[in-house]
Amino acid sequence: MKPLPLFGILTLGVCLSSPISADVPEGRGIQASPASNESGIVRRPAPLDFKRGDLTVWPSRGKKTEAIDLRSYDLSGWDLGSKGADLVSADFDSRTKWPGRLPDGFDPVRMMDLGRNPGLGVRSLHERGITGRGIGIAIIDQTLLTDHVEYRDRLRLYEEIGLDLYPAQIHGPAVASIAAGKTVGVAPEADLYYIASFFGSGTAGEFSRDFTFSAQAVDRLLEVNRTLPRKNRIRVISLSIGWDPREKGYAEMCAAVDRAKEAGIFVVSSSLTPTYGDKLRFHGLGREPPADPDAAASYGPGSWWEDQFYSSGGGPAKGVETLLIPMDSRTMAGPTGAVDYVFYRNGGWSWSIPYIAGLYALSCQVDPEITPEIFWAKALETGDTVVMPAREKAVRSPEEIERMLQKNFLEPLAQLKARTKPGDLEKMIAEGYNRMTGKKLEKMSEADFIAWARTMAEGRSDPRPLKTIVNPVRLIDALVRR
């Protein structure tokens, strides 16, 4: 049996492919999970076995933003002296076996240790007793390794809806530990309620999604919530996925989310913007593995949208305040064993969503009357801005530069010229340039536009501000004073 696919890099409410995805079994299982002897835990899924031994062929990298997968491989026989560039962009886990000698600057133990820290001062909040204690966080995701040490002592509910009896999957332990892990989580003493749900079937390349069971999972959590003491109720549901009107179960999912909102539960997903009236936008932050997770200056745009950040003029969404959340270079609970961990160099919104859920749980602890809208407004108000350094050298090959220049700039320019009067061309070019950069030029010559376009295609740029990076300490302090 192959593992289910990672939900992946999530944007605009639609799930895109991920560099750490896998295939999903064909068909849909509807077997009921056998009950265990423990109240609330219907099954204890077996750990996932990647069935990996010696690495015989070094993995190839496609795009420069892709990580190579070294999870659970035995590399002890390899000479890695020439592999430094790959290793600093690698995914690995507790079961990866390293040779005795590693390239200078590559320290997997240090990388994994730094990746455990939620960052941005969250651990200083824990030291003040702000841990999410007594607050309920619910997660709807893939099959969970219920026995993992990161959360097993606070797992109050584990059920499965619409699934065959799968072993633990890579995604479930990861998101559970980011939200509520004992050593890696944002809210390490929150109560965890978890439902593993069917999300569709097919291969990673041809995956047909279905949110019917996810909607049932939301309603099941609402049912459970009504039985809990008011002070210990579920306050947030984390769903590291988004739904689209063209997909099965879309209407049911939207209706279930509305019911959760009416019950006072914040539903965090990659469909956050449409489900909250285009008010709440977020994006994911990158961090180089050796950088201090607690320093805002250590962060930049996530690896998969870094080029977009520089080419679009410095912001993830023009004219819209966007909350930036840690995403890359994270260590989290692994699916392969109760004490196993995995380091993912590159992330997706999948890792930012449970981080938001954990931070909301901390906020509920200090301000029980908090709402998603108040939380978001305070997070934006208290956030940080860092200035990203200029890119002074081309970051793409000559062939990539010419392809990007032609497709993204010269072809649109030719179309604009074909439908614009010669006397209006410089004004129309300026309008297009302004939309891409946020600037306010009245006119721009064709030559100046092409010169700028080449700079963008090369990946060069001036220094640019990156805002608004969430500041958990200032956020919580603001809510305490509210």
- 433 and 473 together in one domain: no
CA–chain centroid gap for 326, Å, is 8
- Are 252 and 353 found together in one domain? yes
Is 207 found in the same domain as 272?
yes
**SS3 label, residue 307:** helix
- Within a domain: 58: no
Residue 2 domain-assigned (yes or no): no
On whether both 402 and 453 belong to a single domain, the answer is: yes
Same domain for 205 and 137: yes
Domain membership flag for residue 4: no
Domain boundary among 111, 132, 163: 111
Q: What pLDDT is attached to residue 21?
A: 32
What pLDDT is recorded for position 205?
67
Contact yes or no for 239/267 (Cβ under 8 A)? yes
Q: Which residue range(s) make up the domain with 369?
A: 10-48+116-388+469-481
Residue 32: its pLDDT value, please?
34
Any domain includes 63: no
**Assigned domain for 60 exists:** no
> Which ranges of 130-242 does DSSP label H, i.e. alpha helix?
171-180, 212-225
pLDDT at position 22: 33
Give the count of domains, the chain.
3
Question: Quick one: tokens of 96?
Answer: 């990866």
pLDDT block averages, 10 residues each, the chain of length 482: 32 29 33 47 95 93 79 96 91 97 94 98 98 98 97 97 92 98 98 93 74 96 96 97 93 97 97 90 96 97 87 60 96 98 96 98 97 97 93 80 88 89 89 80 92 83 89 97 86
Same domain? For 133 and 217 the reply is yes
Instruction: Indicate whether 241 and 316 sit together in one domain.
Output: yes
Residues 99, 143: one domain?
A: no
Residue-level pLDDT at 129:
98
Same domain for 311 and 186, yes or no, is: yes
Q: Measured between alpha carbons, how far is 124 from 375 in angstroms, rounded to an integer?
A: 19
Residues 6+ away with beta carbon under 8 Å from 372? 266, 276, 280, 360
261 & 323 share domain: yes
What lies within 8 Å, CB to CB, of 244 at 6+ separation is 13, 14, 209, 250
Q: Does residue 287 fall inside a structural domain? A: yes
Residue 332 lies in a domain: yes
Looking at the domain assignment, is residue 277 inside a domain? Answer: yes
Identify whether residues 150 and 35 lie together within a single domain.
yes
Transcribe 395-450 into DSSP letters: -S-HHHHHHHHIIIIIHHHHHHHHTS-GGGHHHHHHHHHHHHH----S---HHHHH
Domain shared by 473 and 456, yes or no? no
